[in-house]
Amino acid sequence: MDALPSSPTTEPGSALQALAERIRGVFGFDRLRPLQGEAMAAVLEGRDALVVLPTGGGKSLCYQAPALVKEGFTLVVSPLIALMADQLHSLEGHGVDAGVLNSVQTPEERALTWAKLHSGQLDILFCAPERLAVGDFFGGLVEAGLSAIAVDEAHCISHWGHDFRPDYRALGTLRKRAPGVPILALTATASPRVQDDICEQLQLRDPARLVGNFDRPNLTYRIVPRENLVSQALNVIQRHAGQAGIVYVMRRKDAEQVAGDLAAKGVRVEPYHAGMTPQKRKQAQDAFLSERIDVIVATVAFGMGIDRSDVRFVIHAALPKGVEQYSQETGRAGRDGLPAECVLFYSGADFHGQRSLMERSAAEADEAGVTTARVELEGNLERLGHMWGFAAGAFCRHRFLVEYFGGRFEVLPDGCGACDVCLGELPAEDDAQVIAQKILSCVVHCRQGYGAGHVTNVLRGAKLKKIEQLGHDQFTTFGLLADKSQAEVRSYIDQLIAQEYLRVSPGKYPVIGMTRSGLAVMKGEEQATLFKPPAPKKKSAARSRPAPILDEPDLDQDLVERLRSLRRRLARERGVPPYLLFNDRTLVDLAKKRPTNEEELLEVEGIGAKKAADLGEVLLEALL
């Protein structure tokens, strides 16, 4: 089995060999993804480990597979009931004995789960961090045979993480309460600082630190200045007609408005946000998971409990608060490893508005006596600044994300081939130095006391009463960029801010000023680089049929679509989301290999013994 390392404490042909056989037989995989083997070996050795893999990198298998061959059971600490239910359904579909203990169960259901634990019937148990603090709940788990702990979404334990949860902080006590039980911490979004904090807070002992390559080559990243959001989003949606997608917005009212506008254009779409009733949120989520709708327009309240693997696009309608959030949310695209697209529509107003909100919130918390308010503000502003630099900069998107999370990116002669910069969609501005000098000069003429919008209007020679009253129409820089559109000039200013040639002051009304680096550009001592903002695309023609999952010339697309329809029907009959039966990669592999018997069916990726026994007959019939 690829990537399964030899273990110094395991004789050949014993635990690791048994593990490889169980993975093939249960999950239908004969290959592992990078670092999965090393993580599993650490679990089998009883060693603590920190596993940082990108979304879709296969973190769950790192604790699920070893639990099948270890004595006792593995406790999985998970942040959301929906996420636990999703994983539980998936494991049951593979024939794995797993259970859950949570607040929505009846007393009888909880009693049955405890009975199964004590009788050794369960390999995996899910629970939320809050439950571990209840009475002697954890002590009962130890008595029932707890042999390993997996802390999922481990970044939630860190103040420096983007999704800090106080209940996660209390997990540090588990080491003292069960010193002999190994702990496996897993996350997809942890910078080096957060990684260190996770190890410290969980008191991991000499952990195996397994930090994967954060490059997701199957994702194509595009970042575009926002102009007409609905029209721009519709272009992306039409490129992926009939496929699943998520549109992330900042506010609840935006979710309702954008979903309504898209629905009016014929998109099968629903909104999702925390202001909806739990019933309506569940209805929207279920409609998306069961493929009754294609698109969901959501605030960040949506997503952590969603494990749908065939999301083909993620749109951000505004600048996220940090690279961690962006990585986590775009990571919901293409989890099956097939091509997917991530498009961010942004504006400078996003950055200034979010920064102002963060500062006000911190000031209010500080006045209320929250001692950590300033520390949290420092972290929030730092993350927002990195995100702004990513959005407004003109460098390979894949390289930035890999290096942000502490990895090394292999620079290719022709770029990554999967982002707007490397694809040549953002050509370099030939007159970058001259344009930058004009903008910097105008900022100085405005005495570094006005915002980007005002500077843009002066440079474009706008005939506005305010400009005339201030006498700014008399500046030598007035109208110097009259041949550029407002969007172009604003984009150039944003790029100069991202490259730290300009700075933005804090406060309710942010103004821009020049930095020392900007002065060097003004004097010609340093060269500025700018890219041309992409021109608005014409509206895409609506597709008459769904877009292909994988656009390969030899792939029978009609067969793939028939298999998708079959998957939806089988899922409805069983009352589960379609992706829990098979992901798109399995459908593509079925169409390529066209197995004719059960033995050949077991060679298809993602089909193990139980899936073959339960669904083999109907699949083979569909392939005739």
Residue 307 has pLDDT above 80, yes or no: no
CA 458/CA 78 separation, integer angstroms: 53
Q: Where does residue 306 rank: exposed (0-12), middle (13-18), buried (19+ CB within 10 A)?
A: buried
Per-residue pLDDT at 230: 96
Q: What tens digit of pLDDT does each residue of 466-485 get? A: 999 999 999 999 999 999 99
Give backbone dihedrals phi and psi of 76, rounded to 5 degrees, phi first. -110, 115
Q: What is the DSSP letter of 206?
A: S
**Chain center to CA of 500:** 27
The mean pLDDT of 45-67, rounded to a whole number, is 91
HEC letters along 147-199: EEEEECCHHHHCCCCCCCCHHHHHHHHHHHHCCCCCEEEEECCCCHHHHHHHH
Per-residue pLDDT at 166: 81
- Which pLDDT band, with edges at 50, 70 and 90, does 90 fall under? confident
- Which pLDDT band, with edges at 50, 70 and 90, does 38 fall under? very high
Q: What tens digit of pLDDT does each residue of 393-410 get? A: 878 999 999 888 888 888
- Which pLDDT band, with edges at 50, 70 and 90, does 61 fall under? very high
The reply to whether CATH 1.10.150.120 applies to domain 432-522 is: no
Q: Under a CB-based contact definition with an 8 Å cutoff, are residues 53 and 59 in contact? A: yes
Residue 115 has pLDDT above 90, yes or no: yes
Place of tokens 């973190």: 59
Q: Where does residue 84 rank: exposed (0-12), middle (13-18), buried (19+ CB within 10 A)?
A: buried
Per-residue pLDDT at 446: 95
CA 152/CA 103 separation, integer angstroms: 19
Measured CA distances, 466 to 335, 344, 442, 447, 473 (Å): 51, 33, 16, 16, 10
Concatenate the DSSP letters of all residues of 64-76 into one string.
HHHHTTSSSEEEE
Per-residue pLDDT at 6: 35
Residue 207 has pLDDT above 60, yes or no: yes
Per-residue pLDDT at 306: 65
Q: What tens digit of pLDDT does each residue of 334-351 get? A: 988 899 999 999 988 888
Residue 449 tokens read as 């006391």
Per-residue pLDDT at 282: 85
Higher pLDDT, 441 or 190: 441
Domains of the chain, by residue range, sit at: 15-211, 219-404, 432-522, 557-622
The reply to whether CATH 2.60.40.10 applies to domain 557-622 is: no
Residue 149 has pLDDT above 60, yes or no: yes
Residue type, 138: F
Measured CA distances, 101 to 106, 115, 175 (Å): 10, 12, 21
Nearest to residue 298, comparing CAs of 310, 309, 314, 312?
314
Residue 86 tokens read as 């999703």
Mean pLDDT of the chain: 88
Give backbone dihedrals phi and psi of 346, rounded to 5 degrees, phi first. -135, 165
For the segment(s) 15-211, the CATH number from 3.40.50.300, 3.10.28.10, 3.30.590.20, 3.30.70.360 is: 3.40.50.300
Give all strands (DSSP E) within 373-515, no chain letters.
502-504, 512-514
Concatenate the DSSP letters of all residues of 397-418 into one string.
HHHHHHHHTT------TT--SS
Measured CA distances, 52 to 83, 89, 128, 135 (Å): 19, 24, 20, 31
The mean pLDDT of 408-431, rounded to a whole number, is 86
Residue 488 CB neighbour total at 10 angstroms:
20
Per-residue pLDDT at 539: 54
Per-residue pLDDT at 17: 75
- Which pLDDT band, with edges at 50, 70 and 90, does 98 fall under? very high
| CATH architecture of the domain with range 219-404 | 3-Layer(aba) Sandwich (3.40)
Nearest to residue 449, comparing CAs of 510, 516, 496, 500?
510
The mean pLDDT of 146-150, rounded to a whole number, is 96
Residue 454 has pLDDT above 50, yes or no: yes
Q: Under a CB-based contact definition with an 8 Å cutoff, are residues 550 and 589 in contact? A: no
Per-residue pLDDT at 395: 83
344: enclosing H helix or E strand: strand 340-346
Q: What tens digit of pLDDT does each residue of 208-260 get? A: 999 988 888 999 999 998 989 999 999 999 999 999 999 999 999 999 999 99
Per-residue pLDDT at 464: 95
Which of 129-133, 301-305, 361-365, 374-378 is least confident?
301-305
The mean pLDDT of 173-196, rounded to a whole number, is 91
Measured CA distances, 565 to 390, 550, 622 (Å): 39, 16, 11
Q: What tens digit of pLDDT does each residue of 556-592 get? A: 999 999 999 999 999 989 888 898 888 898 999 999 9
Q: What is the DSSP letter of 537?
A: P
Per-residue pLDDT at 4: 42
- Which pLDDT band, with edges at 50, 70 and 90, does 14 fall under? low
Per-residue pLDDT at 535: 67
Q: What is the maximal distance between C-alpha atoms in the chain?
A: 86
Per-residue pLDDT at 523: 93
Residue 9 has pLDDT above 50, yes or no: no
Residue 431 has pLDDT above 90, yes or no: yes
Residue 2 has pLDDT above 70, yes or no: no
Concatenate the DSSP letters of all residues of 499-523 into one string.
TTSEEE--SSS--EEE-HHHHHHHT
Residue 3 has pLDDT above 70, yes or no: no
Which of 4-18, 407-421, 514-528 is least confident?
4-18
pTM: 0.79
Same fold, 15-211 and 219-404: yes
The mean pLDDT of 108-118, rounded to a whole number, is 95
Q: What tens digit of pLDDT does each residue of 247-294 get? A: 999 999 999 999 999 999 999 999 999 899 989 988 998 899 899 999
Residue 560 tokens read as 């793939």
